[in-house]
Chains A and B, each alone.
Chain A
Amino acid sequence: MHKMETICHTSEPDDSAIIERVLQGDVNAFEILLRKYESLVLRIAKRHIPFASVEETAQDVFVRAYQALPGLKKKADFRNWLSAIAVRTCYDFWRKKYRDREVPISTLSEAQQERIESFLSGQAAEDYEEAGRRKEAGELVDWALAQLSPEDRMVTELVHLEGLSGQEAAQMLGWTVANVKIRAFRARKKLRTLVNRKFGK
């Protein structure tokens, strides 16, 4: 009986079947995909987009996925396809922000600056897991990333904040692996210079 229940529980329709239903006009079937992959999309959006815009970006990802669904060739590969759409939506978010010049160049208040300085001065011996230190790490990285171009920003976030390999990042962005590696290296160098120039004594 227990085994039977397990089988029934796991035999939910696969992505291909749901996609086919959506393509045949059953819009409500798309909600099954949305519920299944909402945490994946949210995780990607949270890593790349400011908190206030995450919700709207997550919506945009699913709307774009719905619109692009007729063009999806390998229906079983929906997860990777959706991840790539999520990453590109985040990239477009930053490109638009930079184009509209909405990205603040330096948003560190004096208090923040002091906190980061004390954080950096003690960082070698500190454990970053310590709750009080996480905020400073986040503020410093946010400030530094705001100085980069949208391309450098996306590569840095994918490779160093999300921990993706060069190949995975390349696949998500639709770039070559070499391009991703070069950009990641240059962006890292730029970030180090920025932080050291601002806080290095």
Chain B
Amino acid sequence: MKINEESLLKLMAEAGKQRERAIIPDGWQMKAMRRIRNMEPLNAKRFDLALCNRFVWRFAATACVLVILLSVYVFQSDFHTEYELARMFVSDPLGFDLVQSFGLL
């Protein structure tokens, strides 16, 4: 006897109803509440979270302003990374030797 699509769907729907008929004894609700009462109250956690959020966002705003200011400064002072690095090494023989000794240049 091969099972077809329709029979399978009917079978599963019946199995679902069958599972729902199971009776769970009371008592688990009290256990759940006991577990919850043993945890830290949410207002304490909420305070930490709020405090953390406030600082993170305040810092984020400051960081953004700093990045914008630095970008403006770099563009206005005609800063070119490769050129500035080369100039730094040439004008600083000690640093240049140190870099050379590491085999980087």
Contacts and interface: CB of A to CB of B under 8 A. Distances in A.
Contact of B12 (A27, A46, A161): A161
B39 interface: yes
19 contacts: A27-B41, A30-B36, A31-B33, A34-B32, A35-B29, A62-B32, A120-B3, A121-B1, A124-B7, A137-B14, A138-B18, A162-B16, A163-B13, A188-B8, A188-B9, A192-B4, A195-B3, A200-B2, A201-B1
A196 B1 CA distance: 8
A149 interface: no
B62 to A, nearest CB: 26
Given A27-B41, A160-B13, 15 more contacts: A24-B42, A28-B37, A34-B33, A38-B29, A47-B19, A58-B32, A62-B36, A66-B36, A66-B42, A70-B42, A70-B49, A137-B11, A140-B15, A161-B19, A192-B8
Contacts of A46: 19-20, 22, 24
Contacts of B25: 55
A161 B49 contact: no
Interface of A: 22-25, 27-28, 30-31, 34-35, 38, 42-43, 46-47, 51, 54-56, 58-59, 62-63, 66-67, 69-70, 120-121, 123-124, 128-129, 133-135, 137-138, 140-142, 156-157, 160-163, 188, 191-192, 195-196, 199-201
B50 to A, nearest CB: 9
Interface of B: 1-5, 7-20, 22, 24-25, 27-29, 31-33, 35-37, 39, 41-46, 49
Query: Chain A interface secondary structure, helix, strand, loop or mixed?
Result: helix
B37 A161 contact: no
B31 to A, nearest CB: 6
Contacts of A23: 42-43, 46
A156 B20 contact: no
B45 to A, nearest CB: 6
A46 B15 CA distance: 11
A191 B31 CA distance: 37
